[in-house]
Amino acid sequence: MKTQKASYIILVAAALLYSIAVALTIAAGVDFKTSAVWNLLSALYIYYSLIPSSVAGSPFVFVAALLDAFVFALLAVFLAGWFINLIRSVNLNERLSLSKIKKLRNHVIIVPYNNFARALADELRESKIKFVIIAERSEQAAKLYSKGMLAVAGSIKKKEVLELAGVRKASYVVACDDRDVENAMIAITSKDVNPEIKIISRVKDADNMKKIGDAGATFIVVPDITAGVSLGEEIVRRAA
């Protein structure tokens, strides 16, 4: 609340100084439109010759330029504060997410975050099944935080990241990378941390099913085959 109040005061002060600068420039004999644009550019440290040479040396214009410099400083402080608050907000959401994950048991871990994971998360959320998503990029995790989802940002192959996601207390790990070799590594790493964890793995190439199974996958899903079977069943149902 204090930070928001300070930001409001800074913006009001900047607007007031800018208005005074515009008024001084008008007093020097410059029309309103030119004064408004010139002072705005000056406040942003963009210098463009809009002021007529006949009034360029006016003390009013000189004072207006000084005020524009103060406006620039105030805007810089405001933007710096906004950026710091944004970073703090992301870190706070991350800490809250990790705190909630520590309390979970028998949940599902989805790794990594992609279109497949997004669709699966929507289904689990609708079914009120607890889950955690491991995202490889911080911006992805931030997006998940904003949607009220639990997430961990980090490498999908690191034990530490899986442990943060609660793999020791989870029931399932869903390996849904687009690459079979990555899903195999996720399965191996998850089993190494928690030998009892059940792995559901996505397989892009059906020829890799045995390899994924050897890596520790309990259940294997081949989306292309599954989609083909579902489509065939739907056609038969409608044609019957």
Task: For residue 194, give the CATH number of its domain.
Answer: 3.40.50.720
| 220 pLDDT higher than 70 | yes
Distances (CA, A) of 53 to 20, 32, 63: 21, 17, 16
The whole-number average pLDDT for the span 4-12 is 72
Q: At what angle do helices 59-102 and 32-43 cross, to 10 degrees?
A: 50
- pLDDT higher than threshold 80 for residue 50: no
- Contact assessment for residue 121 and residue 133, using Cβ atoms and an 8 Å cutoff: yes
Q: How confident is the model at residue 183 (pLDDT cuts 50, 70, 90)?
A: very high
Confidence of residue 106 (pLDDT cuts 50, 70, 90): very high
Position 53 in a domain: yes
164 and 81 fall within a common domain: no
Q: Domain range spanning residue 111? A: 104-239
Please, are residues 112 and 134 in contact by the beta-carbon 8 Å criterion? yes
The answer for residues whose C-beta is within 8 angstroms of residue 184's C-beta and 6 or more apart is 201, 208, 211, 212, 215
What pLDDT is stored for residue 200 in this prediction? Answer: 92
Domain count, the chain: 2
The reply to whether 98 falls in a domain is no
The pLDDT score that the predictor gives to residue 228 is: 47
DSSP class of residue 67 equals H
Here the CATH number for the domain that contains residue 43 is 1.10.287
The residue length of the chain stands at 240
Residues 134 and 191 in one domain: yes
> Is residue 119, in this structure, part of any structural domain at all?
yes
The pLDDT of residue 219 is above 50: yes
Does residue 145 share a domain with residue 42?
no
Residue 36 vs residues 19, 74, 82, 154, 157: alpha-carbon distances, Å: 8, 18, 26, 48, 56
- Asked if 113 and 144 touch (Cβ cutoff 8 Å), the reply is yes
Of 71-75, 94-98, 168-172, the range with the lowest mean pLDDT is 71-75
Give the model's pLDDT for residue 229: 46
Domain boundary among 66, 90, 114: 90
Q: Answer whether residue 99 is part of any domain.
A: no
Q: Does 25 score more than 70 pLDDT?
A: yes
Strand partners of residue 151: 133
* Residues 108, 37 share a domain: no
Check whether residue 42 and residue 156 sit in a common domain: no
Q: How many CB atoms lie within 10 A of CB 161?
A: 19
Q: What's the pLDDT at 231?
A: 45
Tell whether the model's pLDDT for residue 134 goes beyond 50: yes
Query: 111 with 186, same domain?
Result: yes
- Better pLDDT: 74 or 19: 19
Q: What residues contact 73, with CB distance under 8 A and at least 6 apart?
A: none
Return the top range by mean pLDDT from 36-45, 64-73, 80-89, 116-125. 116-125
Q: Which has the closest alpha carbon to 156: 140, 142, 135, 171?
A: 135
pLDDT of residue 47: 61
* CA 99 to chain CA mean position, Å: 19
What per-residue string of b and e applies to 127-154 under the rule 16 or more CB within 10 Å gives b? eeebbbbbbbeeebbbebbeeebbbbbb
Residues contacting 58, CB < 8 A, separation 6+ = 28, 29
CA angle 59, 64, 66 (to 5 degrees): 100
Residue 64 has a pLDDT of 77
The pLDDT of residue 167: 95
Q: Is the pTM of this model over 0.75?
A: no
Does residue 36 fall inside a structural domain?
yes
Q: Which residue has the higher pLDDT, 239 or 169?
A: 169
Average pLDDT, the chain: 82
Mean pLDDT confidence for 189-209: 92
Same domain, 33 and 127: no
